[in-house]
């Protein structure tokens, strides 16, 4: 991400498709005569994105009659697919002004498809019990004073700052260096690993300073305190190597290939119309992560219970 932050990819191949039976939500099945195709959906490695993608996939297949194939792709790799034709849509983009400039403005192989409705927040966090016990720990100016609390076998005598998936586009190493913090950035390896570390830090009262973000179901389950970094100002993160300010809030959006926008028909319209809240995403993420549902079953459950939300996404006449 910048999550930074699961991203989606759509490739439309013309093909006939057979009619489907009626399903949850009460929408009649798409016409067997409709000229539908295959939509290739790329999944980026965080569950919030997977939630977006799961609901879009479900509606494309069950309500509009498309076939959807999913691919696991790293965040920035997805953008390359706009040029190669392998990627048709990213359905949870966290900023990436540099990539927008390259692929939308310069190469003109992608277009903006509007907001997802989600607000993305990225920051540094400690468990709430630490903020209660050490009230000034949530000011970055005091982090060096507490570095000893965060030492681990992996941090080489410095305090450990725990990051997530190394493929996420983050500013943490630059922040540690430019703010002259006595910490070492250690990568947990995945979203699941950093969530597990955060939960253990709460349950076992273990010190932890870590990178995290929302929308995220974990914030609805447990309490964490955000560390105040130097305030974000427009342009303060323009040079990735010189960043010394906090992350901005992000209006999460969708980006699609120019070809998909021009020829994707009802599939493109649904992606463009898709817009929900952080609470919606967190609910589906919770179904997947904590209630043992597959992505498809999680989407099915949400669709069955939230017709008023998704009904307006379905293109007129579909």
User: How open is the CA angle 203-205-206, to the nearest 5 degrees?
Assistant: 110
Query: What confidence category does residue 95 fall into, taking pLDDT thresholds of 50, 70 and 90?
Result: confident
Nearest CA among 13, 114, 1, 116 for reference residue 55: 116
Please say whether the beta carbons of 120 and 249 come within 8 A.
Answer: yes
Q: What is the pLDDT of residues 285-305, one digit of tens each?
A: 999 999 999 999 999 999 999
CB 142 within 8 A of CB 131: no
| Residues 227-243: tens digit of each pLDDT | 999 999 999 999 999 99
Sign of the C-alpha dihedral, residues 302, 306, 307, 309? negative
Radius of gyration in angstroms for the set of CA atoms belonging to the chain, rounded to a whole number: 21
Cβ–Cβ < 8 Å for 91, 60: no
pLDDT bracket for residue 268 (50, 70, 90): very high
Q: Quick check: 5 pLDDT over 50?
A: no
Please report the pLDDT score of residue 11 as a whole number.
40
Alpha-carbon dihedral 129, 133, 134, 135, rounded to 10 degrees: 80
- pLDDT-based confidence at 1, cuts 50/70/90? low
State how far the Cα of 222 lies from the Cα of 65, in Å rounded to an integer. Answer: 40
Q: How far are the Cα atoms of 25, 263, 317 from residue 28, in angstroms, in the given order?
A: 9, 24, 12
Mean pLDDT of the chain, nearest integer: 88
Burial class for 22, CB neighbours closer than 10 Å (0-12, 13-18, 19+): exposed
Cross-strand partners of 69: 40
pTM of the model: 0.76
- pLDDT tens readout for residues 48-80: 999 999 999 999 999 999 988 888 898 889 999
Both tokens of 153, joined, read 């076998």
C-beta separation of 240 from 292 below 8 A: no
Confidence of residue 26 (pLDDT cuts 50, 70, 90): very low
Burial class (CB in 10 A: 0-12, 13-18, 19+), 204: exposed
Q: How many CA atoms lie within 13 A of 242 on its CB side?
A: 5
Higher pLDDT, 226 or 22: 226
Q: Report the alpha-carbon distance of residue 201 to residue 9 in Å, rounded.
A: 35
- pLDDT tier at 151, thresholds 50, 70, 90: very high
């Amino acid at each position: 991400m910048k999550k930074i932050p699961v991203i989606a990819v759509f490739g439309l191949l013309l093909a006939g498709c057979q009619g489907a039976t009626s399903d949850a939500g009460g929408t009649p099945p798409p016409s067997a005569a409709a000229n539908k195709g295959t939509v290739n959906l790329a999944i980026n490695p965080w569950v919030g994105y997977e939630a977006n993608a799961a609901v879009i996939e479900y509606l494309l297949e069950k309500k509009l009659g498309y076939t959807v194939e999913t691919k696991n792709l790293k965040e920035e790799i997805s953008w390359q697919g706009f040029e190669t034709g392998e990627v048709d849509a990213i359905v949870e983009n966290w900023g990436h002004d540099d990539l927008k400039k390259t692929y939308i403005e310069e190469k003109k192989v992608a277009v903006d498809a509007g907001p997802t409705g989600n607000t993305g927040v990225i920051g540094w966090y400690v468990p709430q019990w630490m903020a209660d016990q050490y009230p000034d720990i949530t000011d970055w100016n005091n982090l060096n004073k507490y570095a000893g609390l965060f030492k681990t076998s992996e941090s080489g005598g410095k305090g450990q700052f725990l990051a997530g998936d190394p493929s996420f586009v983050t500013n943490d190493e630059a922040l540690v260096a430019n703010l002259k913090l006595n910490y070492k950035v250690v990568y947990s390896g995945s979203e699941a690993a950093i969530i597990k570390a955060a939960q253990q830090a709460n349950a076992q009262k273990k010190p932890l300073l870590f990178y995290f973000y929302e929308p995220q179901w974990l914030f609805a389950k447990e309490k964490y305190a955000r560390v105040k970094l130097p305030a974000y100002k427009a342009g303060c993160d323009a040079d990735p190597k010189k960043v010394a300010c906090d992350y901005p809030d992000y209006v999460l959006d969708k980006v699609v290939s120019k070809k998909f926008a021009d020829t994707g028909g009802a599939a493109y319209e649904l992606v463009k119309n898709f817009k929900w809240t952080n609470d919606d995403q967190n609910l589906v993420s919770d179904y997947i992560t904590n209630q043992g549902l597959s992505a498809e079953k999680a989407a099915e459950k949400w669709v069955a219970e939230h017709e008023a939300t998704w009904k307006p996404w379905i293109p007129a006449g579909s």
